[in-house]
Amino acid sequence: MAEGGSARPSPAVRTRFAPSPSGDLHVGNIRTALYAWAWARHTGGRFVLRIEDTDRSRITDEAIASALEDLRWLGLDWDEGPEIGGDCGPYQQSERLPLYHEWVQRFLSEGTAYHCYCTQEELDAERETQRSKGLPPGYSGRCRTLTAAQVADFEAEARKPVVRFRMPPGTTTVHDTIRGEVVFDHANIPDFVIMRANGYPLYNLAVSVDDALMRITHVVRGDDLLASTPRQIAMYEAMGVPAEDVPVFTHCPYVLGTDGKPLSKRYGSASIEWYRENGYLPEAVVNYLALLGWSPGNDREDLRLDELVELFDLSRVGATPGRLDPKKLDAINGDKIRALGVDELAHRIMPFLQAAGLVAEPVHPDQARLVVAAVPLIQERLTRLTESVDLLAFLFVREGAFTVDPEAAARVLTTDAGPVLSAAYEALAALAVWDRAAIEQALRQVLVEKLGRKPKHAFGPVRVAVTGRRVSPPLFESLELLGAHRTLGRIERALEADVG
C-alpha cells in the first residue's frame, strides 16, 4: 500500500502556487494561492510561484504577466519564482522540458513507463466496447508488453508513440488535511499518458517532477485534483522520493457562484481583474476569500493580512464549498475603505477619477489637493472605489461639460423649485466669506426660515442644480469645495433653463 500526504511537522515548509494562466485568474485559483501563501508565512516557510505553461496553445505571455500582477496587487509575494529566481528554477514549465525528458527516459529504462502506439481511433473504439459491456472506460494496457516485432511494425507505420506510466498494483491512501484518509484502488486507475507524442509533458508528469525537485512539502489545490493524487504519489515512488517527503495534501472544496454552481472563467465576477476594475480593495478581497472556506474562530471576520498570517492553520479549512456573497464582500470592502487614512483613500480613488477623465495624468497639484479635501465627504458613503466617480464628478468636470441628470431634474427642478433657487442665489451671492458655516447659515436662513421650506425641499433643488444628482456628498461642504463662482454659475444656469 502506498501512502501519501501524512501530516508531519516540518521546520522548512515549502508551499507553491502553480497556475496555468490562459486568462484572468479567478477567485478559486487565488483562494488556494492565498491559503498556500498564508501557511508558508505562518510557519516561516517559503512560497514558490511556478507557471504551468507547457500548453502554449492556451497560455500567453500576457496572461502570465497578468497573473503576476494580480498576485502583487493582492500582496501575495513569492520567495522563489518568475522575476525572482531561486535554487530550484527555472520556474516556468516550458523552460524545464529537458528535466521531464530525463525522467521519462529513466522511467522507460526502469520499466515504470512504456511507449504506447495506440491511435485515437483505436482508443475510442476500445472505450465504446467497454461502455457497451457496462465496464468503466479506461485504457486496457494493450501496449504494456509489446514485442520488438510489434514495435517495429508500428514504427514502420510511422506511428508516433506517447509515453504511459505503468500504474502498479495495490492501493494508495491519501491523507488529506480536509477529507482525512481517502483510499484509491489502483484497479480503477488505468495506465496514464505522461508525455505526448510531440515530446511535451502532461500534467501528472510535470507536477510530480516539479513538486519533488522543488521540495514542496504542502500542496494546496482544488478538490477537482484529488483524483489525480494517487497517480502523482505513484510517480513520487518511481522517482525514489521517500514516503516522508511526499507532500501533505489539502484539497479545497469548490467555490460556488451566486447560482450555486462551480465557478468558471466565464463567470464574470469570478475574475480577480474584475474586482480590481470595479473598485474593490485588495485587502478586502483577501479578507473575504480567506473566510470563503476557513475561519479564524470566534466569528471574527475583519482581518488584516498580517493577522491572517498569524492565525492561519490549514486544519481549519472546511469541507463545505464556499459560495460567493457579493453583499458580504461589499460590506467588508466598505469597512476597509472607512479604515483608510484620508491621504491613502485619495491615492486609491485617484486612478478611477483619472480613468473617467476627471483628473489629469499626471495629476495636477490643485486637483490632488481637491481630491484629498473631498475624501472626508464621501468616505462613509463608499462601498466601492468606483462610486467616487459619480459622487465627485461635479467637482472636476469642466463647466462646459457639466450636466444635470435628467431624472433628477424632472423630479426636483420642478416649477416649485424656481423660488428656492432664486433665493439661494441671492443669499449665496451676498456672502463675504465662502465656507461651510457661512453657506449653511445663509441657506437655512433664507430657505427654511424665510421661505418656510422643509430641509428636503429647501436644499434638494440646490443640490441637483449644483451637483447634477439627487445623491451627493454633504451639500454645504460640497459648495465650499466647488467655490462661489462655479456654484453661482450652476444655479444661474438652472434658473435660465426655465425652472419655475
Do 373 and 426 lie in a common domain? Answer: no
Which has the closest alpha carbon to 113: 103, 126, 124?
Answer: 103
Are both 295 and 388 inside the same structural domain? no
| Same domain assignment for residues 309 and 359 | no
Residue 156: other Cβ atoms inside 10 A? 8
pLDDT for 497: 85
Sequence-separated (6 or more) residues with CB below 8 Å from residue 427: 442, 443, 445, 446, 447
Same domain, yes or no: 444 and 487? yes
**351 and 327 in a common domain:** no
Q: Is there a domain that residue 350 lies in?
A: yes
Report pLDDT digits (tens) over 139-176: 999 999 999 999 999 999 999 999 999 999 999 999 99
Q: What CATH code is carried by the domain that includes residue 285? A: 1.10.1160.10
Q: What is the pLDDT of residue 282?
A: 97
Give the rounded distance of the alpha carbon of 416 from its chain centre: 50
pLDDT for residue 49 is more than 80: yes
**All residues at 6 or more sequence positions from 439 whose CB lies less than 8 Å from its CB, including other chains:** 428, 431, 476, 479, 480
Task: Give the span between the Cα atoms of 48 and 81, in whole angstroms.
Answer: 6
- Residue 223 pLDDT grade (very low, low, confident, very high; cuts 50, 70, 90): very high
- State whether the Cα torsion 319-321-324-328 is positive or negative: negative
How many structural domains are present in the chain? 3
Task: For residue 498, give the nearest of 411, 413, 403 by alpha carbon.
Answer: 413
Q: Assess whether 374 and 325 both reside in one domain.
A: no
User: Which of 295, 317, 339 is at the close of a domain?
Assistant: 339
Calpha distance 402→351 (Å, rounded): 21
pLDDT digits (tens, 9 = 90+) for 59-81: 888 999 999 999 999 999 999 99
Same-domain pairing of 365 and 425: no
Residue 58 inside a domain? The answer is no
> How confident is the model at residue 260, as a pLDDT?
82
Range of the domain at 418: 402-500
Closest to 375 measured CA to CA, from 367, 44, 289, 50 = 367
- Let me know whether 473 and 385 are in one domain: no
Q: Is residue 465 part of a domain?
A: yes
Distance CA 443, CA 408 (A): 21
Neighbours of 425 (CB within 10 A): 20
Given a cut of 50, whether residue 98 has pLDDT beyond it is yes
In this predicted structure, the answer to whether residue 344 has a pLDDT above a threshold of 90 is yes
Are both 417 and 456 inside the same structural domain? yes
Average model confidence (pLDDT) across the chain: 93
Q: What is the CATH number of the domain that holds 381?
A: 1.10.8.70
265 annotated active-site: yes
3-state secondary structure of 496: helix
421 and 476 co-located in one domain: yes
| C-alpha cell of residue 3 | 501512502
| Phi-psi category of residue 498: left, alpha or beta, with phi > 0 → left and psi -120 to 50 → alpha | left
Residues 272 and 307 in one domain: yes
Q: Which of 133, 265, 328, 336 is catalytic?
A: 265
> Which of 307, 248, 322, 333 is CA-nearest to residue 38?
307
Within-domain flag for 311: yes
Q: Using only the alpha carbons of the chain, give its radius of gyration.
A: 32
How would residue 423 be classed by pLDDT, with cut points 50, 70 and 90? very high
| Domain assignment of residue 486, yes or no | yes
CA angle centred on 463, ends 460 and 466, rounded to 5°? 145
Return the CATH number at 407: 1.10.10.350
Same domain, 407 and 376: no
3-state secondary structure of 319: coil
Q: What's the average model confidence in pLDDT over 434-440?
A: 98
Strands (E), 320-468: 322-323
